[in-house]
Structures are given as C-alpha cells and as structure tokens.
Amino acid sequence: MSVNTTPGSPGSSAPERRELQRRVVRVLAAGQVLGGLGTGATLSLGALLITDVSGSSAWSGMAATMATLGAALLAVPLARLAQTRGRRTSLSTGASIAVLGGVLVVSAAVLGSLLLLLAGILLMGSAQALNLQARFAATDLADADTRGRDLSLVVWATTIGAVTGPNLFEPGEAVGRALGLPPLTGGFVVSACAQALGAVVILVGLRPDPLLTAIAAEAAAARAGAGASAASTGARRSSGGLSVLRSNPTARRAVLTVAGSHATMVALMSMTPVHLTEHGASLSLVGSTISLHVAGMYALSPVFGALSDRLGARSVVLAGQVLFLASLLLALLGAQDATLVTVSLVLLGLGWSASIVAGSTLVSSAATPVQRPRLQGVSDSLMGCAGAAGGALAGPVLARAGFDGLAAVLLVLVLVVALAQREPRRHREAARVG
C-alpha cells in the first residue's frame, strides 16, 4: 500500500512538514507586502476622494468607517470559505473582492457618485479582512513552539506595503493622468493591480493548502485513535465560531484581548491628529507622529512573536496591556505636550503589536484545526466592529472630555482585558491550595 508523502500530509515526515510551513510563511508574507500597498490608499486617498466627490469634508471620515465595516462584514464569510475550500481559495477571493472595490472606486470618481464610491471602499475592506486572515493562515501547520513567531512574521510583512504604499501616491497619480482618470484615483489603480498580483501569488504559491492539510492530518489522527476520540472530534467538527466562544473560556479571553486592544488603539490613534491640530501642531508633526505609531505597530512584531513562544502568549498580552497603560497615562498627564503625545502614540503602537500578536496566537491555540477558521472569522469580525465602535465613540468623548478624558476612559477597557487574562492563574492557584 502506498503512503502519501506530499509535504505536510499525514504520511509525510516532520522535516517535510516544517519545510512546507516555511514556504507557506514566505508566500503569505509576499501576499501581505502586496496587500499592504492598498491599505494606505483606502484610508488616506479615500478620505480625500470622498471629500472631492461629496463636496464636503464632513464625509471624509466615512473612508475609514466603510473600510473597517467591510473588513468586519467579510471576515466571517471568508473564514467559512477557508473552512470548506481552504486558505488558498479564501485569501485569493478576498484579494479579488478588493480589486473589484478598487474598480468601483475609480468608476465612482468618473461618474461623480458618492454612493458607488462608498460601496467601492466597503469592498476594499476585504483587503483588511484577508490581511487579518493571513496571519492565522501562518499558524495552520506551525508547531506549538513556533506559532507566535510564524504569525508575527506575516504581520511584520505588512509593514513593507504599509510604508511603501503612501510613497506610491504620486506615481499613481501619474498613472491616472496617463489613463485619463480623475485626480486622486491613480493610487486606487496601483492598489487594485497590487491586490490582483497578490491573488496570483496566493493561488500559485499556497500549494498544498495549509488549512486543508492540517484538517486532513487531524482526521487521520482521529481515525488512528479510539472510537470515542473520533466521536469527540466529530462533535467538535460541527461547532461554529460562536459555539466555540460559548463553550471555551480560553477562546473568549483571547477574542476579548484582540477586540479590546484594537478598540483601544483605534480610539486614541484616530483622535490624535484632531487633538494635535487643535493645539497648533503642523501637519508634518502630525504625519511624523502617525508614522512612528505605525512603526510601533508592526516593526517589532517578530520580537513579540518570539516572546510569545518563549514566555507564553498570555504573558506577552499582559506586557501589551502594560504598554497601553503607559501610553494612556502619558496621554492623560501630558495631553498638552506634543512630544509626550508622540511618545504615547509609539507606546500605543507597541502595546497593540504585543497584544494582537499574542492574542491572535491564543485564538489559534484555543481551537482544533477544523474549528479555527470560524473562530478566527468571528474574532476578526468582532475586532473590526470594536475598532469601528472605538473610532465612532472617541469623537464625542474627545469633544466632551478632551484628550485626557478619552485616555481615562480607555484605561478602564485596558484594565478589563488585563484582569481577564489573569483570571486563569488565580483559578490554578486556588486549585493548588485546595
């Protein structure tokens, strides 16, 4: 009888599986670089284009809102597609939807249609959804002691595209002019082309599919085990993401960490430009502050991934909440000092990086391979909704209580997340005493 020795298959060796995992991470990282090129265009150029088409700056904030909403709405469908057809199909589909969104945005600019423009940006939120799913795809075949590192490397790859993307706005405008397109649309042409190329990279490079391979290995292990074990696996197989959350406290804490940390970051970051400009800061200072914040979000993610593997993801989550606390205390006490606000934003980015990398690692560890896609989809959807809510509520809080008041409100959310992570330790200590 022949044995399947396809890399990563149940009959393959551990070195072959590890080699496949390394290739998966390389392909996902390449896709993230290309996908990151479009994120900046959606948020930055999108706000400007909405203002131009609508004739009012009051609509400019809808760029971030629609993109975030699109990511939240598409997270679960893309996760279900991953569960049935694999990561390769799901990620390439997400990129294709983002391409369609870019085409709609350019068409809306040509037609002068605000409604079509908002719909296009909504679909471009798919780029954010697949960006988030890609980090989870890096854990499908990862060993337990390298899961955090592999996830963080894919997160880090986003930095290249996110930093390079804004620098392509001017060349993109040249492309737009050459094609006879309206102003501010060239960057969306570049974004759509990058997403299309990313879809090709995923389709060609992600073979065999890491998630389907992991599910096949789990099924083979179940068949080789006792009948009761197989029946238990079958029961787990039928549960969806919400069912896992209801029955799995570890999954609930992990998802709370990701959602709460993202809401904290979005709320403070989105109001910082408003606060600084109201206090006389130049646009160059605002831009430098946000750039340093983005660097904090992504540049050290491999460090936090390695620490998650070495010290445990929960410890890194707590470290991330400590960084959040330091950031918010600086914002609370130094709201009138632009330098302290900048340092606060850097710490905010670092706290987000530690919390999201380690929290995502906990999400992946909280479920079996067949359960992971739906749990991860629910996590990404809640993360997007939390970010949108944080951004929406931050404005009224800033108007009523100021920047320091906003920081004080967010301190409560950070403490909730931190205390939720400490709960299992108290229970274990109580069990030992008993």
User: CA-to-CA distance for 175 and 422, rounded, in angstroms?
Assistant: 53
- Tens of pLDDT along the chain (434 residues) come to 344 445 555 555 677 888 999 999 999 999 988 887 766 556 667 777 888 888 876 676 677 778 888 888 898 899 889 989 999 999 999 999 999 999 999 999 999 999 999 999 999 988 888 888 998 899 999 888 889 999 999 988 877 776 676 667 678 888 889 999 998 888 889 889 989 999 999 999 998 999 999 888 888 877 776 444 444 444 445 456 677 788 788 889 999 999 999 999 988 887 887 788 778 877 677 777 877 887 888 889 999 999 999 999 999 999 999 999 999 999 999 888 889 999 999 999 999 999 999 999 999 888 888 888 888 888 988 998 888 788 778 878 888 888 888 899 999 999 998 888 765 554 444 434 33
> What's the confidence (pLDDT) of residue 230?
44
Alpha-carbon distances, residue 176 vs 30, 63, 109, 126 (angstroms): 26, 20, 12, 23
> What's the confidence (pLDDT) of residue 2?
40
Instruction: Return the number of other C-beta atoms located less than 10 Å from residue 5's C-beta.
Output: 11
State the Rg of the chain over Cα: 22
Task: Give the domains, in start order, of the chain with CATH numbers.
Answer: 15-220 (1.20.1250.20), 239-425 (1.20.1250.20)
Both structure tokens of 401: 């209580």
End-to-end CA distance of the chain: 54
User: Tell me: the pLDDT tens digits for 377-411?
Assistant: 889 889 988 887 887 788 788 888 888 888 999 99
Q: Which of 107, 148, 112, 92 is nearest to 356 (CA)?
A: 148
User: CA-to-CA distance for 43 and 381, rounded, in angstroms?
Assistant: 19
> What's the confidence (pLDDT) of residue 273?
78
Spatial CB neighbours of 255, under 8 Å, sequence gap ≥ 6: 245, 363, 375, 378, 379, 382
> What's the confidence (pLDDT) of residue 329?
94
DSSP-derived secondary structure letter, 208: S
> What's the confidence (pLDDT) of residue 42?
61
Q: Which of 317, 304, 265 is nearest to 422 (CA)?
A: 317
Spatial CB neighbours of 164, under 8 Å, sequence gap ≥ 6: 36, 37
DSSP-derived secondary structure letter, 304: H
Asked if omega into 396 is within 30° of 0 (cis), the reply is no
> What's the confidence (pLDDT) of residue 239?
57
